């Protein structure tokens, strides 16, 4: 099935705790060009203005740092993505940090408000924090909660400022729809670095996480079949690929929060290829490449590009 692919570039790194994820999309472009690919010139491209200059100022929102700028970026991204999807487009999204994914998912839901949206979240992290639970205040640890409209007050350990709370409410309500996704419709893959409030939330809602050992034991194909089975009631599937889902000792440390013992690139590639082939899949996003942190020159971006090249081929079939 041929799709109307559309590239989005969203270089926001306002949600990350280390600097450099805004250079991730460009690092992937460099990898593509060194691979003699003209992919980035072959499709329509929408680039969303980032507000990364906010990083040069103090933030008045300690429990959700720079959430004001993040809201502005995600709100616009959601509108642009919604417009492309409404016209039948398939967004291939290259973003800075993972907070952007909440805007992408919002845009998909805005385009199809009556459809049930499933999420495959391939990541080392659960990204299930909220301003009420976060130890760091970094919003890239919160996008799944944003789209679930989840505060996790059961595990509250912070008292967010009124301003933080106000923007958190706005973030959850982008497009005037909340929640965008049900807890049962989020499937995690490779999540292995979580905090207690996230663990408790996952347990409370019996959210499934395919840990690396389970993926290796069952094989990618069977895990994929199970994921589809679990998302059987969903009309559409969004796929979020955080490169830190992969093993940092195997690939590189070119990502903001590298974690050992992750997926091998070949496993990730196989899973993304299968998901790209599925007709319910409506968007794939790639996040958290950080070339500033890469001890092997541009290895993380090259690995991400190799995986992208492969699933893009499936999308074009």
For the bound state, the minimum distance from the C-beta of residue 107 to Mn ion, rounded and expressed in Å, comes to: 18
Which CB atom, from 98 or from 109, has the smaller least distance to Mn ion? Answer: 98
Phi/psi for 238 (5° steps) reads -105, 140
Instruction: Sketch the per residue contact string, 29 through 58, with Mn ion: x for CB under 5 A, - otherwise.
Output: ------------------------------
10 Å CB burial of residue 136 (0-12, 13-18, 19+) is middle
Instruction: Sketch the per residue contact string, 233 through 262, with Mn ion: x for CB under 5 A, - otherwise.
Output: ---------x--------------------
Please give the Cα distance from 52 to 41 (Å, whole number).
25
Which CB atom, from 111 or from 239, has the smaller least distance to Mn ion? Answer: 239
How many residues touch Mn ion under the rule CB under 5 A: the total is: 5
Segment interacting with Mn ion (CB under 5 A) among 65-73, 118-126, 220-228, 298-306: 118-126
For the bound state, the minimum distance from the C-beta of residue 287 to Mn ion, rounded and expressed in Å, comes to: 7
Segment interacting with Mn ion (CB under 5 A) among 39-47, 66-74, 92-100, 277-285: 92-100
Please give the Cα distance from 290 to 8 (Å, whole number).
18
Which CB atom, from 102 or from 111, has the smaller least distance to Mn ion? Answer: 102
Which CB atom, from 84 or from 247, has the smaller least distance to Mn ion? Answer: 247
For the bound state, the minimum distance from the C-beta of residue 34 to Mn ion, rounded and expressed in Å, comes to: 26
For the bound state, the minimum distance from the C-beta of residue 288 to Mn ion, rounded and expressed in Å, comes to: 6
Segment interacting with Mn ion (CB under 5 A) among 69-77, 119-127, 160-168, 171-179: 119-127
Of the candidate residues 68, 127, 285, 302, the single one contacting Mn ion (CB under 5 A): 127
Of the candidate residues 29, 98, 129, 269, the single one contacting Mn ion (CB under 5 A): 98
For the bound state, the minimum distance from the C-beta of residue 17 to Mn ion, rounded and expressed in Å, comes to: 12
Please give the Cα distance from 146 to 142 (Å, whole number).
6
168 within 8 A of 64, measured Cβ to Cβ: yes
For the bound state, the minimum distance from the C-beta of residue 55 to Mn ion, rounded and expressed in Å, comes to: 19
Grouping H, G, I as helix, E, B as strand and the rest as coil, residue 67 is helix
Of the candidate residues 6, 29, 65, 125, the single one contacting Mn ion (CB under 5 A): 125
- Applying CB under 5 A, does 123 fall inside the site for Mn ion? yes
If we measure between CA atoms, which residue out of 307, 201, 296, 190 comes closest to residue 245? 190
For the bound state, the minimum distance from the C-beta of residue 37 to Mn ion, rounded and expressed in Å, comes to: 26
- When computed from its CA atoms, the radius of gyration of the chain, rounded to whole angstroms, is 18
Residue 300 preceded by cis peptide, ω within 30: no
For the bound state, the minimum distance from the C-beta of residue 139 to Mn ion, rounded and expressed in Å, comes to: 11
- By CB under 5 A, what part of segment 5-24 binds Mn ion? none
Q: In this structure, what token pair is assigned to residue 121?
A: 């979240």
Residue 246 is classified by DSSP as B
Q: Which positions ≥6 away from 103 have C-beta within 8 Å?
A: 10, 73, 74, 75, 76, 77, 78, 81, 174
Please give the Cα distance from 193 to 55 (Å, whole number).
26
Segment interacting with Mn ion (CB under 5 A) among 13-21, 87-95, 115-123, 209-217: 115-123
- According to DSSP, the β-strands at 45-48 and 89-95 are unpaired
Please give the Cα distance from 19 to 37 (Å, whole number).
28
Binding site for Mn ion (CB under 5 A): 98, 123, 125, 127, 242
């Amino acid at each position: 099935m041929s799709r109307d692919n559309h590239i989005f570039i969203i270089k926001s790194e306002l949600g990350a705790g280390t600097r450099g994820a805004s250079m991730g999309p460009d690092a992937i472009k460099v990898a593509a060009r060194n691979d003699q690919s003209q992919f980035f010139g072959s499709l329509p491209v929408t680039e969303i203005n980032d507000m990364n200059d906010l990083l040069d100022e103090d933030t008045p929102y300690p429990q959700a740092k720079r959430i004001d700028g993040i809201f502005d970026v995600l709100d616009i991204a959601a509108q642009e993505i919604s417009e492309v999807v409404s016209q039948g487009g398939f967004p291939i999204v290259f973003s800075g940090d993972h907070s952007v994914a909440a805007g992408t998912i919002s845009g998909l839901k805005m385009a199809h408000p009556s459809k049930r949206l499933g999420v495959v979240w391939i990541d080392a992290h659960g990204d299930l924090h909220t301003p009420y639970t976060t130890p760091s205040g970094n919003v890239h640890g919160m996008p799944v909660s944003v789209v679930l409209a989840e505060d996790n007050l059961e595990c509250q350990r912070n008292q967010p400022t009124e301003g933080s709370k106000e923007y958190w409410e706005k973030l959850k309500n982008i497009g005037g729809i909340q929640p965008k996704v049900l807890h049962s419709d989020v499937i995690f893959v490779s999540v292995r670095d979580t905090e207690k409030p996230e663990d408790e939330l996952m347990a409370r809602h019996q959210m499934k996480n395919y840990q690396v050992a389970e993926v290796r034991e069952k094989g990618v194909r069977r895990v994929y079949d199970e994921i589809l089975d679990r998302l059987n009631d969903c009309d559409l599937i969004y796929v979020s690929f955080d490169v830190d889902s992969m093993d940092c000792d195997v690939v590189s440390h070119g990502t903001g929060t590298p974690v050992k013992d992750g997926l091998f690139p070949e496993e990730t590639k196989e899973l993304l290829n299968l998901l790209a082939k599925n007709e319910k899949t409506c968007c794939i996003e790639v996040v958290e490449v950080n070339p500033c942190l890469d001890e092997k020159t541009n290895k993380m971006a090259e690995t991400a590009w190799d995986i992208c090249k492969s699933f893009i081929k499936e999308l074009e079939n």
